[in-house]
Copies of this chain bind each other. A is one copy, B any other.
Amino acid sequence: MRDFLSDFAAMSAFGATARGGLDRIAGTTAHRDVRRWLAGILSFEGFEVTTDAAGNMFGLLRVAGDAPFVLFGSHLDSQPKGGRYDGSYGVLAAAHAAIAAAERHREGAGEPRYNIAVVDWFNEEGARFKPSMMGSGVFTGKLDLDTVLHTTDRFGVSVADALDHMGVRGTFALGEVAAYAEIHIEQGRSLEERGITIGVVEATWSAHKYDVLVRGDQSHTGATRMADRRDAVLGAAHLITRVRELCDLFPVEALHTSVGELDAFPNSPVTVAGEVRMLVDLRAPHDATLAEAGEHLRAAIADSAAASNTEIEILSVTTWNSGPFLEKGIAVAEEAAASAGHASVRVLTLAGHDATNVKDIAPTVLVFVPSVEGITHNEAEFTRDDDALAGVEVFTRVVELLAAGALDETP
């Protein structure tokens, strides 16, 4: 029987950073290599490994004739200098749970109603190609395949080219998904603070992402009179401080606001920037909060433009609205935790996950394990071994239950 922790250590070597993190951005050589490693294990365990046109990798275990698949997975890509657990933990847990199901099937135990598939969704993180949750977005019909394939990174490499570089642009189509489940680290502190090992996600926060362009006028940092300047970096700076202040208009933790990505042009030390492109990320548990915050953001944009003598335009807004997870799926996860002897509690997810895409096309379960101090998107991201193993145990039960048809309309 495979050892989860030793497999996890081996997997974490692909794209490992010196300080114990991962730098395994979607479509890079490190991402290609960790997929080859996982494909090797899955093939050895009797899975057929294949990819679809959006670069999602599937490991297929046919145990129920022509029945549809139940699907389990997460993502193997990371943020730049990200953590070892975010996404990767869930893919390996899904693989181990599916391998356990395969073993039981070989031993003649159980009678799965569905075939079983494991998935590594392409580019969940969106660090290189935007938007994030790209592979699951195409899979669920939320993103257009052709648009995605032509999307380029900041050096002009397209998704199609990156997939070809990895050798993972395939033609497989999974078809109907009978059910989907994902396990992930919490990326927050609520489980740790309550001392509970298993979180069952009952709803997701909403996220509204504003792609913003600040337009100034390129000039000389030395020679141009201050009064003549239209400084795009200054406009961006005003807006960034105002974005932070939006939170103060709402109760504590009712709204999260960030600017994590910004690019100045021409980004030269002696040139006042003519343009800044930036992403404003607003998240809240309630859509109404984001609608109200959006109004305040528009006012902040007008003020920041006036203060810097620039023009600031919202180029597009991408919205993921909040939504509940299926009550029946929550009950299955709670049953799985109880039967494995672990306490569980219902939680929200603040971060987006592939499961929040898939839940709109198939019955979906999302399970969390604790994340020490909630540190994530950081090399210091950490989940204790006991918690990681407890999650695999519970998730193995979830796989069994879903494969047996626990989320069917008429089970």
Contacts and interface: CB of A to CB of B under 8 A. Distances in A.
Interface of A: 79-82, 125-127, 130, 132, 186-189, 205, 207, 209, 217-229, 231, 233-234, 236-238, 240-241, 244, 247, 252-253, 256-274, 279, 281, 283, 349-352, 374-379
A191 B399 CA distance: 78
Nearest to A275: B81
A240 B244 contact: no
A355 B238 CA distance: 37
A205 B222 contact: yes
Please state the number of chain copies in the assembly.
2
B283 A221 contact: yes
Given A224-B376, A226-B256, A241-B234, A218 B81 contact: yes
Contact of A231 (B81, B188, B226, B258): B258
Contacts of A244: 231, 234
A370 B349 CA distance: 61
B258 A272 contact: yes
6 contacts: A132-B270, A219-B376, A225-B256, A260-B269, A261-B268, A268-B377
A374 to B, nearest CB: 7
Contacts of A218: 79, 81, 377-379
B262 A79 contact: no
A374 B223 contact: yes
A358 to B, nearest CB: 18
Given A241-B241, A244-B234, A272-B377, A222 B127 contact: no
Given A223-B351, A351-B223, A209 B260 contact: no
